[in-house]
Amino acid sequence: MTDQVDYISTGGGASLEYLEGKELPGLTVLDAQS
């Protein structure tokens, strides 16, 4: 598989905050609209 993948992203700070259980403003807005 290492010959097929040359880059891995953690998603940046937002994904880390999501994993910590913090509220993400973009997701809050989407939840409120649905």
pLDDT digit string (tens) for the chain, length 34 residues: 778 888 888 788 888 898 899 998 888 898 888 7
Q: Does residue 27 contact residue 34 with C-beta atoms inside 8 Å?
A: no
Which residue in 20, 3, 2, 31 sits closest to 11, CA to CA? 20
Give CA angle at 9 (18, 6), nearest 5°.
160
pLDDT attached to residue 20: 93
Taking the C-alpha atoms of residue 12 and residue 7, their distance in angstroms, rounded to an integer, is 14
